[in-house]
Structure 1
Amino acid sequence: MIFNWFIIFILVSITILVLYFKKFRFIDAFVFFIPFNATVVLFTTGGTAINLPFTLFFLASISFVIRTLFSPKFSIPKNRITVYSWLILLGLVIIISQVMPFIIDGKYNVLERYQKSVYWAEEVPLIPKTQWITQAGYFLIGLLVVFIISYTYKSKEEIIKLLKLIICGITFMIFWGWYGSFSFFSGTPYPQLFNHIGMWEFGVAKEAFNGFPRMTSVSMEPSYFAQMLIPITPFFYWNSQIEKPLFFSKTFHKRMYVFSLISLLIAITTTGVLGFFLIIGLLLINNIRFFSKRSKYFLIVIYSVVVIASIFLMIKYLIDVSGTYSGIERFKTVVYGFKYFLDYPILGLGWGVFPTFDFIVNLLVNFGLLGTIPFTILIYNILIKFMNRMKFSSKKNNYLYRAGIESFVLLLIVSQLSGFIYHSQYFWLYLGIAISIGSLELKKGVK
């Protein structure tokens, strides 16, 4: 095994802090370091990379179990029983879906998704493999992330702490990414402190766009960088709109909102560009009431023209890359995935057998209607909670709920556009944040 000793030092330091300070927990460290999914703790003898967020969540899970066993106060809040019930049901469906490769056992051909690129992949008989169990494990770990996050951070003070931690982590990710680009152009030494996966000496993606590096920072690739950044922007925006922000200063949130928008563009990834227009669209929706009728029409027309033009440019780009691995993978997996779902609509092919770059098709093909329907109900339940909270909250608390629901919606849209990244914990962390905020009961008059 190969160890990253700098990260080992960080883990030891975190453990010391946890032992000496009761208010600091492994789950807090996990939240802060969630963007560091390219930072390796160690490589196993087989070459598998164990990253920092996964290691911290492993420690957080052990700590959570120990605290729960020795705590006489453990109980599930009534307003979360429904949500947790759907999480349990999804976990059961994931486990049950693993019988599908055994049932099919070579009688049905599926495009090979793991051994070679999609461009060269061929359909092969589906048989049981440990790979499917591993992918199911990632999903189950994700559900555990949702539960521990939403159970740990219940009160308003705890939720504010949660948001502080993730915003600090995302802020570091942004500026470390800018430093990587600076080092690329200036030729200054780039410190290889975080042992990045998929990057080169300047901490940027190996591919460049017309000589300009694609920003990755401590994430695994530019797309992941954008996916983690987009859902946090509503918290920057709404905290910059109130006289006294829930945490940090108003100036901080304003500047980070602008930095986030610029970073999405210079990351040079389709996800980042789409996210940029989504955020600008939300900005327009949230401020349209302040403009005159003529100005409203003008802004809507300008925004629509820019978006339509961008869509045409993106279509051209997809056509240009359709003969490459990237383009083929996106089109081919969705088409084949939907075909497989129609053949096995009830339980799909089994979770992890055929991941696609489409959120909905990914759910349908991997655990069928039996899993997609509960997942959809879970999402609907979270949205309804937000809507109900916003009706009966004070103006200041309403900002928290609005930021929460916008973050959640952005997460879903990004997942639909870029794919369901179930094997990385940040999707599940944002889902846990949505449940925590949506379940927070703050009526009018409560500060």
Structure 2
Amino acid sequence: MLQIIKNNNYKNTLTFKVLQLFIVSLFFIAFGITLGSNTLPLSFFLLLMLTMVLLANGWSIAIDNTTKSLFVFFIIAVISVFYRLLVGTKTGSSFWGDTIETKGIKQLIMFFMMVLHFVVLRNILKKYDIKIIQNLLKFFVLICFLVALYSIYQFFAFRYDWPFTDILRTSKSYSITRGLEDSSWAGLPRARAFMPEPCFWGAFLLIPFSLVLPFVFERKKIALWLLLSVFVTALLLTFSRSCWFGCLFILVLFVYYKIIYEQKIIRTAKIFLIVTAGIILLLTLIVPDKLNLFQRLSAFSDFSSFERFEMQKRAFQIFLEYPILGVGFGNTPFFLNYIVTHNFYLQLLLETGIVGFFVFMLFLFQVWIKLKELEKKTCLFYKGEGLRSLILAIKLAFFSMLFTWIHLTAYNLSYIWFTLALITVLSCSYQKTGLFIGEGAKE
């Protein structure tokens, strides 16, 4: 039977301390440890440390159905790469100097690292009871709050030439622009904290926004409103339209859930109006050209949007030419003359075909089922608001990641796999605490 760690000494364990460092590293995507001509992201380095700790402790490594689906997708990705190498392609090198012989292999190594993230984090997190996991989430939100405050300062530092630091943006694994080059369509600088680009930071902020929103509804504490306000402000200062729409999407989902499933109409409407009014007020104060703001939000007619739509149209046409296994995992630049498609789902279709796309969607569906199982047990065996709010928060965070992939193809972000791993162990953590009356302690 699985041994759950729920004593008061868990904070003193090496595993927990490294896990906390790993959570801190999630915010520093653009910071890496130099290895020759390349860099290893800090979170990857700490993940390898967690792997060694897991093995050194002699903990068993469980492989559930979600993990199996992830491995199957990896195998399909491997097949797609080597099949494309065997049949060849018209273009042997991309505009950026990569060769088809090396690009796919590098991407396979990167995705294997993501599989390792999921397996290791899942097997470590399942050792903890729900109180410890809640403490980890609070720690995550606290660090995000501090970094969000810095990103707000960063916006004004860019605008008024205040001092700021860029020393934590050293990774050669990402294309990084610096300083005032991050100018937005509004003619204002874009905050991006310690991440490669503003859109990365905006997508990241949707996670803590989702985690805090349900608790603002439940507990009515000023501290929670402060957290929410800082996250929304930092998100707006990225000037990422897709992330703004992501924020609205999460807000609408929250309202839908509260009204349809809990019939809490009046208070839900109040929170929706307060948050929406706050967003509109902030935009009015920040953006000087209100007409340009309205045009940008109501119509995607600028050159950047047009270029993306045309590129995605071409990507779908190429997918139709290679519908089964795609053009090979990581081989987009050799067929599209672009590094990415700016849509992860489309890129899955393009690179791994219908087969790979179906298996990865199966993996995401299985993660969702884990969350729904926990929600169902909550309705049957548990009446407290805290658990319901946490489930809704995790659900909104999950949907925020799914929404992010509509405009961002980056799958190789450690926080994504931390969140996915967390979802799959929540049910086990709650069962072991005895919160579910009559429920067994199954893995």
TM tier, shorter chain? 0.7 to 0.9
Q: Any unmatched runs of 5+ in structure 1? A: 1-17, 117-126, 245-249
The answer on whether the counterparts of 1:90 and 1:375 sit within 8 Å (CA) in structure 2 is yes
Give the match for residue 15 of structure 1: none
Describe the superposition over 1:36-82 as per-residue Cα deviations: whole angstroms up to 9, x where unpaired. Answer: 0122333x553x34332232223333333333xxx1x5152xxx621
Q: Which residues of 2 match residues 35-114 of structure 1 at below 5 A?
A: 35-42=27-34, 44-46=35-37, 48-67=38-57, 71=58, 73-76=59-62, 81-106=64-89, 108=90, 112=94, 114=96
The answer on whether the counterparts of 2:168 and 2:194 sit within 8 Å (CA) in structure 1 is yes
The answer on whether the counterparts of 1:265 and 1:276 sit within 8 Å (CA) in structure 2 is no
Give the match for residue 327 of structure 2: 349
The answer on whether the counterparts of 2:343 and 2:409 sit within 8 Å (CA) in structure 1 is yes
1:227 equivalent to 2:203? Answer yes
> How far apart, in 2, do the equivalents of 1:346 and 1:440 lie?
39
> How far apart, in 2, do the equivalents of 1:196 and 1:180 lie?
17
> How far apart, in 1, do the equivalents of 2:95 and 2:347 lie?
13
The answer on whether the counterparts of 1:385 and 1:439 sit within 8 Å (CA) in structure 2 is no
Give the match for residue 6 of structure 2: none
1:26 is displaced (CA, Å) by 2.6
1:240 equivalent to 2:238? Answer no
Farther-moved stretch of structure 1 (233-242 vs 398-407): 233-242
Say which SS state the counterpart of residue 405 (structure 2) adopts.
helix
1:363 is displaced (CA, Å) by 0.9
Number of aligned residues = 388
The answer on whether the counterparts of 1:32 and 1:168 sit within 8 Å (CA) in structure 2 is no
> How far apart, in 1, do the equivalents of 2:265 and 2:138 lie?
33
| 1:413 aligns with one of 403, 414, 421 | 403
Identity within the alignment, %: 19
Give the match for residue 370 of structure 2: 385
> How far apart, in 1, do the equivalents of 2:318 and 2:93 lie?
10
| 2:230 aligns with one of 259, 268, 281 | 259
Say which SS state the counterpart of residue 182 (structure 2) adopts.
strand
One-letter amino acid of the structure 2 residue matched with residue 321 of structure 1: F
Farther-moved stretch of structure 1 (273-282 vs 56-65): 56-65
TM-score after normalising by structure 2: 0.77
One-letter amino acid of the structure 1 residue matched with residue 22 of structure 2: F
| 2:109 aligns with one of 137, 148, 165 | 137
Say which SS state the counterpart of residue 164 (structure 1) adopts.
helix
1:350 is displaced (CA, Å) by 1.2
Say which SS state the counterpart of residue 301 (structure 2) adopts.
helix
| 1:423 aligns with one of 412, 415, 429 | 412
Q: Which residues of 2 match residues 175-254 of structure 1 at below 5 A?
A: 175-195=149-169, 198-200=176-178, 206-243=182-219, 250-254=221-225
Say which SS state the counterpart of residue 50 (structure 1) adopts.
strand
1:149 equivalent to 2:121? Answer yes
> How far apart, in 2, do the equivalents of 1:267 and 1:414 lie?
14
Give the match for residue 166 of structure 1: 140
1:284 is displaced (CA, Å) by 3.0
The answer on whether the counterparts of 1:214 and 1:267 sit within 8 Å (CA) in structure 2 is yes
Question: Structure 1 residues 340, 27: CA separation in 2 closer, same or farther (over 3 Å shift)?
Answer: farther
Give the match for residue 5 of structure 1: none
> How far apart, in 2, do the equivalents of 1:427 and 1:391 lie?
24
> How far apart, in 2, do the equivalents of 1:381 and 1:99 lie?
28
TM-score after normalising by structure 1: 0.76
Give the match for residue 388 of structure 2: 398
One-letter amino acid of the structure 2 residue matched with residue 86 of structure 1: S
Give the match for residue 7 of structure 1: none
| 2:26 aligns with one of 21, 34, 40 | 34
> How far apart, in 1, do the equivalents of 2:224 and 2:181 lie?
28
Question: Structure 1 residues 130, 21: CA separation in 2 closer, same or farther (over 3 Å shift)?
Answer: same
1:370 is displaced (CA, Å) by 2.0
1:314 is displaced (CA, Å) by 4.0
The answer on whether the counterparts of 2:370 and 2:423 sit within 8 Å (CA) in structure 1 is no
One-letter amino acid of the structure 1 residue matched with residue 415 of structure 2: Y
1:139 is displaced (CA, Å) by 1.2
Q: Which has the higher contact order (CA 8 A, sep 6+)?
A: 2
Farther-moved stretch of structure 1 (24-33 vs 174-183): 24-33
Give the match for residue 4 of structure 1: none
Say which SS state the counterpart of residue 421 (structure 1) adopts.
coil
Describe the superposition over 1:315-341 as per-residue Cα deviations: whole angstroms up to 9, x where unpaired. Answer: 63x42224xxx742x224322322222
The answer on whether the counterparts of 1:205 and 1:222 sit within 8 Å (CA) in structure 2 is no
Q: Which residues of 2 match residues 231-310 of structure 1 at below 5 A?
A: 231-243=207-219, 250-288=221-259, 289-291=263-265
Q: Which residues of 2 match residues 307-318 of structure 1 at below 5 A?
A: 313-314=296-297, 316=299, 318=300
1:437 is displaced (CA, Å) by 2.8
> How far apart, in 2, do the equivalents of 1:351 and 1:444 lie?
43
Q: Any unmatched runs of 5+ in structure 2? A: 1-9, 281-291, 333-339, 439-443
1:186 is displaced (CA, Å) by 4.4
One-letter amino acid of the structure 2 residue matched with residue 74 of structure 1: S
* Cα RMSD, aligned residues only: 3.4
Give the match for residue 319 of structure 1: 301
One-letter amino acid of the structure 1 residue matched with residue 413 of structure 2: S
Give the match for residue 331 of structure 1: 309
Give the match for residue 441 of structure 2: none
Say which SS state the counterpart of residue 421 (structure 2) adopts.
helix
Describe the superposition over 1:102-145 as per-residue Cα deviations: whole angstroms up to 9, x where unpaired. Answer: 12213x569946449xxxxxxxxxx7421111111111111111
